[in-house]
Amino acid sequence: MPPETGLPVRVQWMRQDEHGWDPKGPPTFYDYRAAIDGAGNVLGWQAEAYLPDRPKEFAVTLLAAELAGLPRDESHPGNIFNSLAIPYTFPNIRATVHWLAETPFRPSWIRTPGRMQNTYANESFIDEVAVAVGADPFEFRLKNLNDPRGAELLRKLMQLSQWQPQTARTAQSGDVVSGRGVAYTKYELVRTYVGVVADVDVDRRTGKIRVKKFHVAHDCGQVINPDGLRNQIEGNVVQTVSRTLLEEIKFDRSRVTSVDWASYPILKFPDVPDVAIEIIDRPNEKPWGAGEPTAAVVPPAIANAIYNATGVRMRSVPFTPEKMLAALKPA
C-alpha cells in the first residue's frame, strides 16, 4: 500500500456525473381511440398508457450515497398516472394504465410528473377528434365541457389570444409556415384550470420550430401574490418549451451520453417566446398551486399549432428539426 500522507483529497460531484447518473423522467407510451357518430358527437373515448411499475415497488435513492454505502433516504416517485383522465364529458370513457416491469433508467419525478405526458396525449388527441368532425378546437372543447369555471377560462383565453375559428386547415405556401394551437386542462381533475394558445413558425427547409408567443389563461382560485404567480407561469412556459423542442436523454449500451449543455441543449434567450397572461382571481375560493399546471399544456399546444401550420402530427417529444423534417416528407 502507498504511504499515508495525511493530505486532504478533494472529491467533487461534477455536472457530467449528475447528468449521467441521476434518475430520469418516467418513459411513457400511449394508445388512443375514439368513436364518433355522424353528427360529430363523441360516443366513446379510450386511452391506454404504458408507465413504469407502481411507485411503491421501487425506491429512488441518492446514487452516490448508495454506492458508497452511506446513510440515505428513500423516495418513492408516484402519481405519474394522474391527468390521464380527461375533463370532458363523453358518455363512455375508459383510461387504463399498463405497468412496465422495468425501464432502461431509474425513473423519478420531473416537473409536473406524469401530468405533462398525459395531458400532451389527451390534448393532442382531442385536437385530432375536433379536426375529424370539422369543428373549431375551442368550440369542440366547450361543447364537451360540463364545467362553468373551465368554460369561462376558455372563453377568456379566446379573447386574450384573439382567436379566429379554425374549422379546416388552410394550405400555406412558402418555406416558413405559421400555426396556432390550443390546449386545456384541469390539473388532475381537481384543481387549477389552465389553457394556452401557442403561436409557432415552422421552417420547412430546416425543420426548425420557433415558438413565437404563448397566451395563458390561469385560474388557481384566490391569488395571494400576483407577481409571483406570473413568474411561475412564465417559468413553466419557458422551461417546457425547452423540453418540448430540444431536451432529450441520449445513451448507448453502456452509459448516458448527453452529459453537458452541448449534448443536452436547452432553450437560449433568442428563442424564448413572448408570454401573455390573464389571471382569473377568485378571492372567495381556496388558493391552489401554480408551480406546475401550465407546464402540462405546453407540449400539446405546440403540437396542435404545428399541425395547423403543416398538416403533420408530431407524436414524440422533443420536436427536433430532424423529427420535423422526417414527418414532413410523407406530407
Residue 253 lies in a domain: yes
Give the span between the Cα atoms of 49 and 26, in whole angstroms.
Answer: 12
Residue 27 lies in a domain: yes
Bigger pLDDT: 11 or 305? 305
Query: What's the domain range around 63?
Result: 21-163+174-328
Residue matched to cell numbers 394508445 = 31
Whole-model pTM? Answer: 0.94
Question: How high is the pLDDT of residue 63?
Answer: 78
Neighbours of 226 (CB within 10 A): 11
Q: At 91, which CATH number? A: 3.30.365.10
Q: What is the DSSP letter of 55?
A: G
Give the span between the Cα atoms of 172 and 130, in whole angstroms.
Answer: 21
Looking at every residue in the chain, the average pLDDT score rounds to 93
Give the span between the Cα atoms of 122 and 15, in whole angstroms.
Answer: 35
Least confident window among 24-28, 135-139, 314-318, 319-323: 24-28
Do the beta carbons of residue 290 and residue 220 sit within 8 Å?
yes
* pLDDT tens per residue across span 255-309: 999 999 999 999 999 999 999 999 999 999 999 999 999 999 999 999 999 999 9
Angle of CA points 90, 93, 97, to nearest 5°:
150
- Count: domains in the chain: 1
Give the span between the Cα atoms of 237 and 239, in whole angstroms.
Answer: 6
3-state SS assignment for residue 61:
coil
Question: How high is the pLDDT of residue 27?
Answer: 87
Rounded percentage of the chain residues whose pLDDT exceeds 90: 74
Taking the mean position of all CA atoms in its chain, how far away is CA 224?
A: 26
Confidence label for 237 from pLDDT (cuts 50, 70 and 90): very high
Taking the mean position of all CA atoms in its chain, how far away is CA 309?
A: 20
Question: How high is the pLDDT of residue 81?
Answer: 87
Give the span between the Cα atoms of 15 and 21, in whole angstroms.
Answer: 10
Residue 62, pLDDT above cutoff 90: no
Q: What is the DSSP letter of 6?
A: -
Confidence label for 113 from pLDDT (cuts 50, 70 and 90): confident
- Which residues are CB-contacts of 174 (< 8 A; sequence separation ≥ 6)? none
Confidence label for 25 from pLDDT (cuts 50, 70 and 90): confident
Residue 310 lies in a domain: yes
Residue 291 lies in a domain: yes
Mean pLDDT over 202-211 rounds to 98
Rounded percentage of the chain residues whose pLDDT exceeds 70: 97
Question: How high is the pLDDT of residue 170?
Answer: 85
Residue 54, pLDDT above cutoff 80: no
Residue matched to cell numbers 418549451 = 241
Mean pLDDT over 235-251 rounds to 96
Residue 71 lies in a domain: yes
Do the beta carbons of residue 271 and residue 212 sit within 8 Å?
no
Give the span between the Cα atoms of 129 and 65, in whole angstroms.
Answer: 49
Residue 29, pLDDT above cutoff 90: yes
Residue 283 lies in a domain: yes
Among 301, 83, 86, 66, residue whose Cα is nearest residue 198: 301
Residue 263 lies in a domain: yes
Residue 29 forms beta bridges with which residues?
A: 50
Length of the chain: 331
For the sheet containing 29-36, what is the strand order?
A: 29-36, 42-52, 93-100
Least confident window among 1-10, 144-153, 182-191, 264-273: 1-10
Give the span between the Cα atoms of 317 and 303, in whole angstroms.
Answer: 9
DSSP string, 131-147: HHTT--HHHHHHHT---
Question: How high is the pLDDT of residue 133?
Answer: 96
- Which residues are CB-contacts of 119 (< 8 A; sequence separation ≥ 6)? 83, 183, 185, 296, 297, 299, 300
Give the span between the Cα atoms of 204 and 84, in whole angstroms.
Answer: 33
Residue 169 lies in a domain: no
